[in-house]
Amino acid sequence: MSIWRKSSYSATGSECVEVGHGVGIRDSKAPATHLPVSEQAWAAFLHLVKVP
């Protein structure tokens, strides 16, 4: 069982993207499916989107 987290910017929690450690990302409206993402790909994504 994975623990899924959502952004603190998703106030209502009904329409957000969730992240599962070691699993990937998913849409909160369709939690049965997810997109697998490697640790390297996730780290690269975070590096690109972080605001300095």
What pLDDT score does 1 carry?
56
> E strands, the chain, where?
4-6, 17-20, 24-27, 35-36
**Residue pLDDT, tens place only, 12-37:** 666 788 888 777 898 888 888 889 99
What is the token pair recorded at 25? 């990302």
What pLDDT score does 9 carry?
77
What pLDDT score does 20 carry?
86
The pTM score is 0.65
CA atoms within 13 A on the CB side of 2: 16
